[in-house]
Amino acid sequence: MFQSYSFLLQSKSAAKPIIADQARFFSITASTNARQYKSVVSRLVKKRKEYKEGDEKPWYLRIPEEKPKYPLYPYGEALFFKRSDRGLYGGQERGSGYQVSEMGNRTPRSWLPNVVTKRLWSEALNKTIKIRLTSRVLRTITKEGGLDNYLTKEKSARIKELGIFGWKLRYDVLKAREKANKPLNYDLKKNPNGEDVKVFYSGTYKGEPIQLTVGRRKLASLLFPVVRNHTTEPLSFAKFGVEHAKASFGDILKECEGYDMDLSNVSFKPEVSQ
């Protein structure tokens, strides 16, 4: 059916394809060539309970020391052929079958995917990455036009074949792209010496205009020792940080003004004072 359709499209006799674009073909039988990713799909991934702040903490719950670096791979880790989680194996596993002799004797045998080690360039990460990958995946990467395109494709089959290693790389690539696409939070200005200076904030301080060369968090860290000196109880930086986590640039600057801080070290002066 599919062949006849392509034939019609290519036929010179028909200037216009007979079948209009509204007509659609459906294949009732499943394609045997399509990859099933059986070993990936059949994994039973334990459902994670989501905990929110203020929820009751069960006594058996272990809190990890550090927060997780990567999102969870929806298909979990490999049950067999664990090495496929340490490279791009495209969902391939150890194959098995028979070695059949001339007499028809069947001897069980197995074969491994054709795995190669390559250094591939990642445009987003701006570095080469040493990867163990199957030649089949290498071919796909070439077709996709690069490692990043292979990793970031949205098709469900691609996510099935990525595995844990690919999933983590995908996260790195997408994060790097997100970071690259983020607009700058500073203006570049030139000081009298001709050097570039980053100006993060322009406003008024003590009734005079000020251009700050430090970010919001850095300004808060400058404010911290002053606040601590004016606090009777011991104040930890962690507590201070939590209190000022959502404070705006203007609020922190106003607080600095309250303590009469000297911000000349972190302010941009377009003219050299004589």
Identify which of residues 144 and 257 has a Cβ nearer to other proteins in the complex. 144
DSSP 191-204: -TTS-EEEE-EEEE
Residues between 75 and 134 with contacts to other proteins, criterion CB under 8 A: none
Q: Does 145 bind other proteins (CB under 8 A)?
A: no
Query: How far is residue 4 from each of residues 20, 26, 143, 168, measured CA to CA in Å?
Result: 14, 13, 27, 43
Identify which of residues 70 and 98 has a Cβ nearer to other proteins in the complex. 70
Contacting residue, 2, 33, 80, 154, with other proteins by CB under 8 A: 154
Cβ-proximal residues to 219 (8 Å cutoff; 6+ apart), any chain = 212, 249, 252, 253, 256, 266
Tokens describing residue 182: 């983020």
Residues between 20 and 79 with contacts to other proteins, criterion CB under 8 A: 50-57, 59, 63-72
Binding mask 211-250 for other proteins (x = CB under 8 A): -------------------------------x--------
Helix (H, G, I), strand (E, B) or coil at 243: helix
Buried b (16+ CB within 10 A) or exposed e, 217-231: eebbebbbeebeeee
Identify which of residues 53 and 208 has a Cβ nearer to other proteins in the complex. 53
Phi then psi for 71, rounded to 5 degrees? -70, 160
**CB of 265 vs other proteins, minimal distance in Å:** 33
Identify which of residues 69 and 143 has a Cβ nearer to other proteins in the complex. 69
Residues lying near other proteins in the complex (CB under 8 A): 50-57, 59, 63-72, 152-154, 170-171, 174-175, 177-178, 242
